Amino acid sequence: MKKLLSIFILAAVFIACSDEFLETENKNSLDVGSFFKTENDLLLAVNAAYTPFAHGGMFGNFYLLRLNQIDPYIWFENPKSGLDQMIINTSDFSAPWNELYRGLYRTSDILANADRLKDIVTPEKLNEYKGQLKGLRGMYYFYLVTWFNTPIYYDETNVPTNPLEGMTNGTPEQFWNKLEEDLTFAANNLPATWPSNEAGRITRGTANAALGKALLYKHYQYYLRFGKGGTAEAKANIEKAKAALKKVIDSGVYELIKPLSQTKEDYQAALLSNYSYEDIPVGTKVYKAENNKESVWEIQYNDDNRAAQGWLPGWQWGGNLNYAYLSPFGYRNLEIDPTLWYEYETAGAPAGYDRDPRAYATCFLEGDLLDWREETGKKIPFQSAIHAKSIVYNYKLYNGPVPSQALGLKKYNYPQFVGKSSPNSAPFNVRIIRYADVLLMYAEACYLVNNDADGTGLAALNEVRARAGMPAIGKLTPAAIVHERAVELSTEGHHYMDIVRWMYDPNFPIDLAKLFGGKFNREKNYCFPIPQSEIDANKGSLKQNPGW
């Protein structure tokens, strides 16, 4: 027996020392050296760089659920605890952190290796691929710095390779500077439009809009926050924001979806087409929904749920979880506070309306039809007791008159999703930047540059109002900007971050105590906490933001 064992040991030693054994290739293992050999390799890698935005930790669920929950105009089903009360745990924002770093890693790693194909792909085409990557990375940087203040920073020159090495905080300057560089490169190297079969890729307009938005936020969250608002650098920054947004406006690619007739049905179709997954008919007229002229960039979803057990939007599903959590036939987790309803103006409303039509495109009221299609079986009236949890009514959160016992969220929930996987894997594309948002950001930049001396900012804001049939206002003011963004972009996840940035400018009418009931802490809630799990994983090298 001992002799036989010795033979096995000698054989093992012989095999282990064999050159042939040492050179054996594992066909199931891919490393960087075996990839990026064809243009298709690069294309597939670039496609993978888009997907973190579609995942559940970002626009597949977290963004519309949590950013709306923290909005003072919207309540969660348990309003006495959690984000509604500004009670934020250090794990609450782990999901977006993970997705943003998944995106940052992919874009940076691909950029670090893209030049392997410089002799295969033309310089122009290679820069187009890089433009997509840098445009995406610029947006990943934007959410990281505005949400987490001093998260981990890296780019293609220092992509992390050692998972055991503790990483440290980056500085806001690193993020702001690099995202400007990335988005500028993208704007200079991307096409104005893509073929319809490439819908969802970022364009020149996407990059310029994202650049203008980022620099606008930087004005408040960097220059004003750190007492640098009056510097030449700060003034140059807001001029660049205005110029980037103006390029989007002047491109001729985008326009607001306007009512084709002055009827109530046409106003609603024009507005709701920006959140529907199906084109909306009004008689013989059809209002195009997804990837329409108002869309500057949107995340593409479908109702493919072949791996339905995964519950991973944009990953194992082609669709998202937003409808499942927010719709009248889902969990109904959120409800609109009547304060938002009364923010919509009544004076000058078009015929058939008692107030700004955007109120009716935002809120489901008692008796509203949930669908226009007879064949779905969902052309039934909204009933608070069935299609909502009556959060405001049950918790007595509002004491004044209300238009409905419950105000349901209409955007991204009309018409009703009745596909094979409903309410999961919903096909509603999520619009990240709409042209209306660009016009309002441009108006804001014009006000900040020189108090809108030439009136172009006011004209842009009034263009948004006119689409809704509301009369023009005569002067561009901070109050007008705050109001218009609140009513135009309501329930789209923008309002909380608007409040956070405006609180640094005393000219903007932001009453934090009134909005949050005294629960907002300026020294803490200017950002979200870095997840404690990340601080632990980085062995203390990564520090928490002040106040958390």
The Cα diameter of the chain in Å comes to 101
Query: Per-residue pLDDT averaged across 63-69, rounded?
Result: 97
What is the distance between the alpha carbons of residues 325 and 331, in angstroms, rounded to a whole number?
5
Under a CB-based contact definition with an 8 Å cutoff, are residues 186 and 134 in contact?
yes
- pLDDT, tens digit, for every residue of 304-351? 877 656 689 988 889 999 999 999 999 999 999 999 999 999 999 999
Helix axes 123-148, 204-218, angle to 10 degrees: 30
Q: pLDDT band for position 163 (50/70/90)? A: confident
What is the distance between the alpha carbons of residues 69 and 79, in angstroms, rounded to a whole number?
9
Question: May I ask the CATH class of domain 35-252+528-537?
Answer: mainly alpha
Q: What is the pLDDT of residue 26?
A: 57
Closest CA to 375 of 428, 418, 414: 418
Under a CB-based contact definition with an 8 Å cutoff, are residues 333 and 325 in contact?
yes
Helices (DSSP H) in 201-302: which residue ranges?
Answer: 204-218, 232-250, 264-272
Using the predicted structure, report yes or no on whether residue 425 has a pLDDT greater than 90: yes
Tell me, rounded to whole angstroms, the distance of Cα 490 from its chain centroid: 14
Structure tokens at 92: 């609450």
Closest CA to 233 of 243, 242, 222, 244: 222
What is the distance between the alpha carbons of residues 90 and 58, in angstroms, rounded to a whole number?
17
Domain ranges of the chain: 35-252+528-537
Q: What is the DSSP string of 297-356?
A: EEE------TTGGG--TTTT-SSBSHHHHHSTTTT--EEE-HHHHTTS--TTPPTT-SS-
Under a CB-based contact definition with an 8 Å cutoff, are residues 312 and 55 in contact?
yes
- pLDDT, tens digit, for every residue of 504-529? 999 999 999 999 999 999 999 999 99
Calculate ∠ Cα 380-337-509, nearest 5°.
140
Residue indicated by tokens 């002055």: 262
Query: Per-residue pLDDT averaged across 109-122, rounded?
Result: 96
**Mean pLDDT over all residues of the chain?**
93
Using the predicted structure, report yes or no on whether residue 2 has a pLDDT greater than 90: no
Minimum mean pLDDT range among 10-24, 160-174, 364-378, 425-439: 10-24
Under a CB-based contact definition with an 8 Å cutoff, are residues 317 and 307 in contact?
yes
DSSP secondary structure code for residue 223 in this structure: I
From residue 529, how far is each of 144, 474, 475, 543, 546 by CA, in Å? 11, 41, 39, 10, 9
DSSP secondary structure code for residue 401 in this structure: -
Structure tokens at 270: 């024009």
Identify whether 423 is preceded by a cis peptide bond (ω within 30 of 0): yes
Under a CB-based contact definition with an 8 Å cutoff, are residues 75 and 84 in contact?
yes
pTM: 0.93
What is the distance between the alpha carbons of residues 291 and 298, in angstroms, rounded to a whole number?
7
Q: What is the pLDDT of residue 30?
A: 59
Q: pLDDT band for position 31 (50/70/90)? A: low
Classify residue 376 by burial, with Cβ atoms within 10 Å: 0-12, 13-18, 19+: middle
- pLDDT, tens digit, for every residue of 184-220? 999 999 999 999 999 999 999 999 999 999 999 999 9
Neighbours of 157 (CB within 10 A): 8
